[in-house]
Structure 1
C-alpha cells in the first residue's frame, strides 16, 4: 500500500550531568511530538492504527539506547525507531561532566489519500 508522509517534526533533548543517552533521546522525541497534533484522525474518522510512525534518533553512543523503551513511549500509530550516530557530547574539562545532546525526527505516514479528497 502506498503511503504519504503527513508530518515530520524535529526535536532536541539533553542530559546535562548524567551522560544518560536514553534520557536525552526520550527528551528529544518528546520535544518533537509536543510541537504537533494530528486532528485528521477525528476529521475523517480514521483509526490511529493506520498511521506508521518512523522515529530516527541521533546520539554519539547509539548502543546505549534501549529502542523498545523509546518505541513504547510513543502515544499513537505503528512505531519503528532507528538510532544513528549523531547528536553531541560536550565535555566540561573543569568538572569532568559531559553534556549529552540527542536529536530526533518523528515522521508520520498515512495510507495514500490521493483521490479521497474533494475540494469544495
Structure 2
C-alpha cells in the first residue's frame, strides 16, 4: 500500500536578533501547523500514528538544525524533519545583527484509503 499526501502546509519563522536557526525553524513549522486542522481523524477513527509527517525546513545554514529535536515537537504522526539550504539571512549594516528567516513545508501522508470510501 502506498502513502497518499493528504495535506501540505507552508510556514515561515524568524529569529530577529539571536541568529538562532533552530528557533527560526521551529517557528516556521509552528506557523505551518497553525494553518491546518485534520478532522479526518475524528470523522473516520483513523489513528494519528497511521499518519506519516514529512517536514522540510530551509535555512541558510542547515547544519545548525537539530532535526530530531524538531521532529519530537510535532504533535501528531510519525515525523521526520529534513533541513536544506533555503530561507534567508537579512543583515543589518547599522548594528551588525543578522535576522534569520526559515521556511517550512509540512506534509502529511496516510496509507491509501480509497478502498474504504464509496462514491455516491
Task: Flag whether TM exceeds 0.5 (same fold).
Answer: yes
Q: State the TM-score bracket (shorter-chain normalisation).
A: over 0.9
The answer (yes or no) to whether the contact 2:52–2:78 under 8 Å persists in 1 is yes
Asked if 1:18 corresponds to 2:18, the answer is yes
Structure 2 CA distance, aligned partners of 1:90 and 1:72?
Answer: 29
Structure 1 CA distance, aligned partners of 2:113 and 2:65?
Answer: 35
Q: Deviation of residue 119 (structure 1)?
A: 3.0
Quote the residue 1:109 is aligned against: 109
Over aligned residues, Cα RMSD in angstroms? 0.7
Q: Deviation of residue 118 (structure 1)?
A: 1.5
Q: How many residue pairs align between the two structures?
A: 120
Taking structure 2 as the reference length, the TM-score comes to 0.98
Quote the residue 2:79 is aligned against: 79
Taking structure 1 as the reference length, the TM-score comes to 0.98
Structure 1 CA distance, aligned partners of 2:46 and 2:9?
Answer: 21
SS of the counterpart of 1:27?
Answer: helix
Quote the residue 1:88 is aligned against: 88
Cα displacement string for residues 71-118 of structure 1 (whole angstroms, at most 9, x for unaligned residues): 011000000110000000000000000000000000000010123212
Gaps of 5+ in 1: none
Gaps of 5+ in 2: none
